[in-house]
Structure 1
C-alpha cells in the first residue's frame, strides 16, 4: 500500500461513521455492521450475515481541507456459479452534500455461491486502496459512501490534511427496515438506492436496515429498531415473507402486531410508517417459495419464479395481495389509538404502469432507473404535503 510522509493517518472510529450500528474490531481494521452482535447471534443465518455486513447506507463522514484522500479496504466480492461476474462495488464521494466522484476497489475476499447446490465458500484475498484526488483545499464536509452490496473491512484512512468529525447539522434521523429492494439490490451505487435517494431529497440522515432476503419480522430486528435512536421510522414488509414461504396468514397477523409493539416500546410517539410491497407480478397472487430460474444462464440471465400454487391461498399461504390487505387492516385498527402510525401501499411507489415501463429485470428486483423513481416518489409522498413524515403528520 502507498506511503507518503505528507499523509495524515486518522483512526477509523464510530465518530467518523454514519449508518452503522456497530464496529467490529478485526486483525487489521474495523468491519461495520448494521445489526448488533447479539442480534447476529440470534439470527445465525448465512444470508442474514452476508446482508447485514454489506454496508448499505453506511458512510464515512468528516470535515477536512484535504485535496487527496486514500482509504484502504478489503471488500468481499460475491461470485455466483454459472452467472457472469458482478461489477466491483462502488464508493460514492459526496462533498458538501453534492456528488463529487466514484471509485472501486479491486481484489479482496471472494464468496463463491452455488445457488443450485445451496453452498457458499469464502476465500481470502488482498486489500486495495481507494483514492480521491484534486479536491478543493477549502474546509468541507466529506462523505464516502461504502458499497451497498459488498462487505467492506476498513483498514486505514489517509488524507493530506487533518480530519475531524463532521458537526451535527441537526437533521432528523430516518430509520428504515426492508428487504433486498430497500437494501439496494440492482441500484447503480450506494447513494442511488431508493432509501438513500429519498433521504437526500428530504434532507434527513439515513440509517438503512434493509436486509436482503431477511425482512422476516424477526424479533431481534424489531428490538434493534426499538433500541436505535431515530426521529422517523419506516418498515417495509412483505416480499421476503412470500418468497421464503416462511409463514401462513394465521402467524402473519400476530407477528406484525408483535413487531410494531416492540418498536413502540422504544419509540412510543415517533412517526412510524408501514409500507406494503411494491408490485411484483410473479407473487401478486401466487405464493412462494421463490426459486432461481437457471434456464437463461447460457445468455447470462438469472431470473426468479414463484413455485407456489394460487389455490393454496385458501389454506393460508401468503401472496403480496394478501399481505397488502392485511397490513392495511392492521394499521387502520391500530391507528385509532396510535395517530402517528401510518400506512403506504407500495404500489404507489412502483405499480402496474411502472412495471410496463421499467420491468423488473430478474422478475424480482427493480433496476437503477426504478430505484430512482421509487426514491423520488417516496420523498414526495412521505416527506411533503400530508405525508407521514411531515411536521403536520408528526403533530397529529
Structure 2
C-alpha cells in the first residue's frame, strides 16, 4: 500500500459486487462464487470447483469522486506441469461505461495441475495490490472487472474519496450458462469474453455462469439458475458433454428437458434461449472424450484431440452434429407450449467460414479476436430485430 493519498478503506460488501451468486468469508476477506453454497456442496470434481470460483463477469461497481483506487486481492495462479507459464490475470477498470485501465496482481497462491494425472497441489502466497490512478475528480461510476480466469479473494478496497453503491440503472439482467468458451478461455480480458462483449453492446447486466469444462446439465446448476433473478436467460449446451463423454443420446434428451424444466420452475415466462455448439471440427462427427496432446506442452503448444470413434455414434455416443439436431428438435417440441423458448444454432455464431479465417488455436477454444466476433454476433442475433431478447 502506498501513502501519497489520504486513503479511505471501504468494506467490500454484496452491494458493491455484481455478477456473483455468493460471497464466502475467508481469513483474508471475501471469495466471490458463481454458484451458491448449496450447489457447491454437490460439486463432484475439482474442475468445476475451480471454475466456479474464477470470477468471470464479476465486478466491483461503485460511485465515487476518487482520483485513485487501490484493491488488495489474493489471487490463485494456475501452473500446468510441462506447460509455459500462464500470464497473470487481468483486472479491468471501466469508468462511466468506458475502458480506463488494466492491471494485474503479482504473487498470490499457486495451484499446480498435472494434466496427465489430474493431480493438483496448492502453495500459499501473499496478498497483492493493484492501483488505478489519475482518474477525474468528478462523480463517476467505477467498475473493476475481476480476472475471468483467476480465483480472486477480495481483501481491501481503498480510495481517496468516499464510495457508495452505484445506482440501479434499470438495465435488464442477462443470466447465461455455458462452457469454457462462455467462461472466457483465451479471451484478452474479463470485459472481452464473448458474453461480456455481447452484454456491453446490448446494454444489459451480465451474470456469467460459463463454467470451464462443466456445462454438463448438472441439476444443481439448473437450480442455481432457477433461483437467480433474471430478465433474460440463455443456456449453451453441448461441447462439454462431448469432451467428457458424459452421456449417450438416450440420457441426453431427458437431461435437457429436466434442466429446462428446472429453470422454468423459477422463470416460467422469461425469454429463454437454447444455444447449440459452435463449430469444433474435431468433434463434429467424432465422439469424445477429449484429451490434451501432452507431447506438445513442452514446445509451448496446447492441442486437444478427439479420442472417440465415429462408428460409436451408432451406439448413441454424442457428437456436436448429433447434439445440434437434438437440441433443435427439443426446442421445437417445447416451443409449442412455451412461446418464450427460443433456439440459436451455434454455427451462426462460429461456423465453417469463421474456422477457415480464424481457426481454433488448440482445436477447441477460440482466440481473443474470435471472442469479439462471437460476442458481436450474439448481440445482433439475440438482442436485435427478431432475436429472442429483442
Q: What is the 5 A alignment of 1:32-71?
A: 32-71=32-71
Residue deviations 1:190-234 (CA, integer Å, cap 9, x gap):
000000000000000000000000000000000000000000000
Q: What is the 5 A alignment of 1:328-367?
A: 328-367=328-367
Alignment-derived partner of residue 153 in structure 1:
153
Secondary structure, in 3 states, of the residue corresponding to 1:42? coil
| Equivalences, count | 390
- Residues 1:143 and 2:171 aligned together: no
Q: What is the 5 A alignment of 1:26-37?
A: 26-37=26-37
Hey, what's the Cα distance between the residues in 1 that align with 2:294 and 2:217?
29
Poorly superposed stretches of 4+, deviation over 4 Å: none
Residues 112, 120 of structure 2: 8 Å contact kept = yes
Hey, what's the Cα distance between the residues in 1 that align with 2:301 and 2:42?
35
Cα distance, 1:3 vs structure 2: 4.9
Hey, what's the Cα distance between the residues in 1 that align with 2:236 and 2:96?
30
Cα distance, 1:295 vs structure 2: 2.4
Alignment-derived partner of residue 193 in structure 2:
193
Cα distance, 1:76 vs structure 2: 0.2
Moved more, 236-245 or 37-46: 37-46
Secondary structure, in 3 states, of the residue corresponding to 1:327? helix
Hey, what's the Cα distance between the residues in 2 that align with 1:163 and 1:35?
27
Cα distance, 1:117 vs structure 2: 1.9
Secondary structure, in 3 states, of the residue corresponding to 2:42? helix
- Residues 1:112 and 2:99 aligned together: no
Residue deviations 1:329-357 (CA, integer Å, cap 9, x gap):
00000000100000000010000000011
Residue deviations 1:258-285 (CA, integer Å, cap 9, x gap):
0000000000000000000000000000
Residues 238, 323 of structure 2: 8 Å contact kept = yes
- Residues 1:386 and 2:386 aligned together: yes
Moved more, 288-297 or 168-177: 288-297
Cα distance, 1:235 vs structure 2: 0.2
C-alpha change, 1:3 and 1:44, in structure 2 (3 Å) is: farther
Hey, what's the Cα distance between the residues in 2 that align with 1:42 and 1:298?
36
Residue deviations 1:309-346 (CA, integer Å, cap 9, x gap):
00000000000000000000000000001000000000
Alignment-derived partner of residue 166 in structure 2:
166
Secondary structure, in 3 states, of the residue corresponding to 2:188? coil
Alignment-derived partner of residue 15 in structure 2:
15
Hey, what's the Cα distance between the residues in 2 that align with 1:109 and 1:28?
13
Cα distance, 1:297 vs structure 2: 2.2
Secondary structure, in 3 states, of the residue corresponding to 2:41? helix
- Residues 1:258 and 2:250 aligned together: no
Hey, what's the Cα distance between the residues in 2 that align with 1:7 and 1:352?
53
Secondary structure, in 3 states, of the residue corresponding to 1:191? coil
Alignment-derived partner of residue 314 in structure 1:
314
Hey, what's the Cα distance between the residues in 1 that align with 2:299 and 2:261?
47
Cα distance, 1:298 vs structure 2: 3.1
Hey, what's the Cα distance between the residues in 1 that align with 2:127 and 2:366?
31
Residue deviations 1:41-85 (CA, integer Å, cap 9, x gap):
111320011000000000000000000000000000000001000
Cα distance, 1:296 vs structure 2: 1.8
Residue deviations 1:136-164 (CA, integer Å, cap 9, x gap):
00100000000000000000000000000
Hey, what's the Cα distance between the residues in 2 that align with 1:21 and 1:44?
19
Hey, what's the Cα distance between the residues in 2 that align with 1:140 and 1:371?
29
What's the TM-score once normalised by structure 2's chain length?
A: 0.99
Secondary structure, in 3 states, of the residue corresponding to 2:234? strand
Hey, what's the Cα distance between the residues in 2 that align with 1:33 and 1:256?
25
Q: What is the 5 A alignment of 1:187-266?
A: 187-266=187-266
Hey, what's the Cα distance between the residues in 2 that align with 1:34 and 1:351?
29
Residues 5, 160 of structure 2: 8 Å contact kept = no
Alignment-derived partner of residue 268 in structure 1:
268
Alignment-derived partner of residue 175 in structure 1:
175
Provide structure 1 residue ranges, at least 5 long, that are not aligned to the other structure.
Answer: 391-396
Provide structure 2 residue ranges, at least 5 long, that are not aligned to the other structure.
Answer: none
Q: What is the 5 A alignment of 1:263-302?
A: 263-302=263-302
Residue deviations 1:115-138 (CA, integer Å, cap 9, x gap):
112201011101100100000001
Hey, what's the Cα distance between the residues in 2 that align with 1:231 and 1:303?
38
Hey, what's the Cα distance between the residues in 1 that align with 2:376 and 2:153?
31
Alignment-derived partner of residue 393 in structure 1:
none
Hey, what's the Cα distance between the residues in 2 that align with 1:173 and 1:51?
22
